A = this chain, B = another copy of it.
């Protein structure tokens, strides 16, 4: 195994977030489940956008946020994801490269527009997401550069990719390429509804492929269909090599075989917008992991990144994370 060109290579849905504030009544009127991510088609996206208040547009996508975090810590990152050659696709590409992340996936020149995630932030700082996948559905195995994947210490993907069948194939190709090169692979469960959609496949992956699993309390309980975090922990311990499980203000728990590291959350003055908390936790953890830190320290770095991101609107760091550690 040669030395790694990248610390982390991320594969994800390349999405531009449209963030707007609204009250709980808005969620009710538009049949949105608070805190969840729902997939929508273009017509519904247009209708919902028309109903939303004035917004800000900012590059997002769960894995894109994580890679921005890795770069912000000073890590070397690469990203694979599909946009269209439209204005928002240009914004996404600009932003991820401006963070210092290598991004070479060719834009689609036909087909659906760059993906948008319509995010409604309620006064309790919770975010509710409606995603139009658009060009993301065009990511496929042909976008996976095997040599590039083999040159990253960890290949990290989002469970959301399972919503695009060709993207899932791309992930499986990348996982094989990473392992063939003696590297590690990692996945986040993304969302409890996403887990419901792909439970069997995710369980199989965790048991047989994944080296580092990320998930929050709701997601890991959904994966094993248990009603307490303790039971979920027990089940995870049997399946996963390493799992980093987040619990909001209770911090996170990392398990590896018999080891358990419970790490408290970093303090936050005021929670403004929880969008990206899990994504940024993963960035801190993976930055630490690829820099040889012990697991508890990886979790602490994850907590610091998550605390930064929930202190302001938007899911990408407002300040250099490396300055916070």
A residues at B contact (CB < 8 Å): 20, 49-50, 52-59, 68, 86-88, 91, 94-96, 98-99, 113, 314, 316
CB distance B99 to A54 under 8 Å?
Answer: yes
User: Nearest residue in B to A17 (C-beta to C-beta)?
Assistant: B56
B residues near A52, Cβ cutoff 8 Å:
94, 98
CB distance A58 to B57 under 8 Å?
Answer: yes
Q: In whole angstroms, how far apart are the Cα atoms of A53 and B49 in the complex?
A: 27
Query: Which secondary structure characterizes the binding site on chain A?
Result: mixed
User: Nearest residue in B to A91 (C-beta to C-beta)?
Assistant: B57
Q: In the complex, how many angstroms separate the beta carbon of A292 from the nearest chain B beta carbon? A: 28
Choose one: B53, B59, B68, B86; the contact of A98 (CB below 8 Å): B53
CB distance B54 to A56 under 8 Å?
Answer: no
Task: Please list the 6 inter-chain residue pairs (A to B) with the smallest Cβ-Cβ separation, ordered nearest first.
Answer: A57-B57, A54-B95, A87-B87, A54-B98, A56-B58, A53-B98
User: Nearest residue in B to A113 (C-beta to C-beta)?
Assistant: B87
B residues near A57, Cβ cutoff 8 Å:
56-58, 91
Q: In whole angstroms, how far apart are the Cα atoms of A57 and B56 in the complex?
A: 6
B residues near A54, Cβ cutoff 8 Å:
59, 68, 94-96, 98-99, 316
Q: In whole angstroms, how far apart are the Cα atoms of A23 and B184 in the complex?
A: 37
CB distance B94 to A49 under 8 Å?
Answer: yes
Q: Would you mind naming 10 contact pairs between A and B with Cβ atoms under 8 Å apart?
A: A52-B98, A54-B68, A54-B94, A54-B99, A55-B94, A56-B57, A56-B314, A86-B87, A87-B87, A87-B113
B residues near A20, Cβ cutoff 8 Å:
98
Q: In whole angstroms, how far apart are the Cα atoms of A55 and B95 in the complex?
A: 7
Q: In whole angstroms, how far apart are the Cα atoms of A95 and B21 in the complex?
A: 12
B residues near A98, Cβ cutoff 8 Å:
20, 52-55
